[in-house]
Amino acid sequence: MTTLSDRPQQTAVAPAPVPLGSPWPASATTGRDGGEPRLGGVALREAADRFGTPLYVLDEDEVRRRARAYRRALPHADVLYAAKAFLCTAMADWIAEEGLGLDVCSAGELRLAVAAGFPPERILLHGNAKSPEELRLARRLRVGRIVVDNLAEIPRLAALTVADTPQRVLVRVLPGVAAGHHRAVRTGVDGQKFGFSIAAGEAAEAVRRILAQPDLRLAGLHCHLGSQITDTGPYLAALDRLVELLALIRDRHGVELPELDLGGGHGVRYLPGDPELDPAAFAAAITAHLAARCAELGLAEPKLTVEPGRAIAAPAAVAVYRVLSVKHTADGRSFAAVDGGMSDNPRPALYGSAYTVRALGRPDTAPTRPFDVVGCHCEAGDVLARDAPLPADLRPGDLLAVPAAGAYQLSMASTYNHVGRPAVAAVRDGRLRLLIRRETVDDFRAREVGR
């Protein structure tokens, strides 16, 4: 067996880890000619034949390996998996078993997690527009922490709280740091829907109001800078402003807050050679900087919280599609149309996101040509990947695999054109099992109640 990589590998008897720089899970291997990728000991073609396509294949060991990497890197911090990246009952189980908490941002995510048996005291709820019903649900289930994102939430939450069960809350602040791969996901700057501006004094006012509520317990500050951040610089800049705010709160109110949540947004590889935020390097830089800044200002060092989602889920899944048609145009372009598209992966259409694409069952040495891999939906912008190097003789019926597919694809999926959302299968130790069945027209019809 040889490792799955974008450069030739030496043949070997047993699978080996994917080389640094690859977007594939660590368990991914291929046959001697590089043509039949396996994940967790299971051939992707076998998974597609068994469960159909489009199919998302999730490597359980990769999820657990990445969760453990964060626990090792930050043994004294709270590590919360960001459920918005991708959540199902199995994922909730794996995250709980690996000792992580859970960050949810809706009643749906909260209900699914608790129904799966996730301990509510290890759950944090945030969101810029939590409804009164969501706040009541969070209080009834006794979630560990709630992030306050607007002034209206303060009296609403206080009215739901009684003295014998005070609610721990964090204040989401805007440190004025721009970070993230696209302007739509840069959530740490002023002038947007999230949080309270530090510079404008909004954060200080939110803190004052919460401290005035006897049944709310202000535990700390929360921020989230953006998504797909691949260096520690923005986090260090945010820390400077957050620690300064902690010192201001101490000086004004005589209170030292015990927690500091830096959110998530940790970047991963989508293309070979892409940068990726390393948990160990991130942890070393952040903890050292926090200790130094707190010492300068005479503050007790707060407990850190981080919220990786994409960094745990994205590299653990591979999407598998079947080619429906191949078209070569007069201007020299080639298109491979597949049986999925923007309904199961809206990221290329929303953010111009790039992906690696590989043809299954073809040797690495096969001649290639650039293809635009496009979806089956009625949109010209339904493009999954541009100029992907695929076999020159690609034909209908071939299978294509797209790694780094575990985050913000199925969680953002739609039913555009009444195309059902794909199935999700898990692999571990050579075993393949279905986690989520494919959505069908019968599911659509079951929601209709009249005509």
- Structure tokens, 24: 């594939």
Determine whether 100 is exposed, middle or buried from the number of CB atoms within 10 Å of its CB (0-12, 13-18, 19+): buried
Q: How far apart, in whole angstroms, are the C-alpha atoms of residue 144 and residue 244? A: 26
pLDDT digits (tens, 9 = 90+) for 400-414: 999 999 999 999 999
Q: How far apart, in whole angstroms, are the C-alpha atoms of residue 416 and residue 444? A: 12
Whether residues 35 and 128 share a domain: the answer is no
Whether residues 53 and 195 share a domain: the answer is no
pLDDT greater than 50 at residue 7: no
pLDDT greater than 50 at residue 449: yes
330's CB contacts (< 8 A; 6+ apart) are none
Q: What integer pLDDT is reported at residue 205 of this predicted model?
A: 96
- Structure tokens, 315: 């590299």
Q: What integer pLDDT is reported at residue 2 of this predicted model?
A: 41
CATH assignment at residue 298: 3.20.20.10
Average pLDDT taken over every residue of the chain: 91
- Total tally of structural domains belonging to the chain: 2
Q: What integer pLDDT is reported at residue 373 of this predicted model?
A: 98
Angle at 228 between CA 174 and CA 439, to 5 degrees: 110
Whether residues 149 and 220 share a domain: the answer is yes
Residue 451 placed within a domain? no
Residue 234 placed within a domain? yes
- DSSP per-residue codes, 247-306: HHHHHHHS----EEE----B---SSTT-----HHHHHHHHHHHHHHHHHHHTPPPPEEEE
Which residue, among 343, 356, 350, has the nearest Cα to 389 in the 3D structure?
A: 356
pLDDT greater than 60 at residue 3: no
Q: Is 378 a catalytic residue?
A: yes
Which residue, among 335, 349, 365, 265, has the nearest Cα to 307 in the 3D structure?
A: 265
Q: What integer pLDDT is reported at residue 158 of this predicted model?
A: 95
- The structure's pTM equals 0.92
Q: What integer pLDDT is reported at residue 288 of this predicted model?
A: 97
CATH assignment at residue 426: 2.40.37.10
Give me the domain span that covers residue 416: 2-59+314-445
Please give the average per-residue pLDDT across 308-337, as a whole number.
Answer: 97
pLDDT class of 9 with cuts at 50, 70, 90: very low
pLDDT digits (tens, 9 = 90+) for 119-145: 999 999 999 999 999 999 999 999 999
Residue 434 placed within a domain? yes
Q: How far apart, in whole angstroms, are the C-alpha atoms of residue 126 and residue 261? A: 12
Whether residues 142 and 247 share a domain: the answer is yes
pLDDT class of 252 with cuts at 50, 70, 90: very high
pLDDT greater than 50 at residue 8: no
Above pLDDT 70, what percent of the chain?
Answer: 91
Above pLDDT 90, what percent of the chain?
Answer: 84
Q: How far apart, in whole angstroms, are the C-alpha atoms of residue 153 and residue 354? A: 38
pLDDT digits (tens, 9 = 90+) for 162-207: 877 899 999 999 998 765 554 655 555 667 788 999 999 999 999 9
pLDDT class of 226 with cuts at 50, 70, 90: confident
Looking up tokens 């969070």 gives 138
CB 44 within 8 A of CB 320: yes
pLDDT class of 425 with cuts at 50, 70, 90: very high
pLDDT greater than 80 at residue 232: yes
Point out the catalytic residue in the list 88, 105, 376, 378.
378
Provide the 8-state DSSP code for 229: B
Whether residues 291 and 358 share a domain: the answer is no
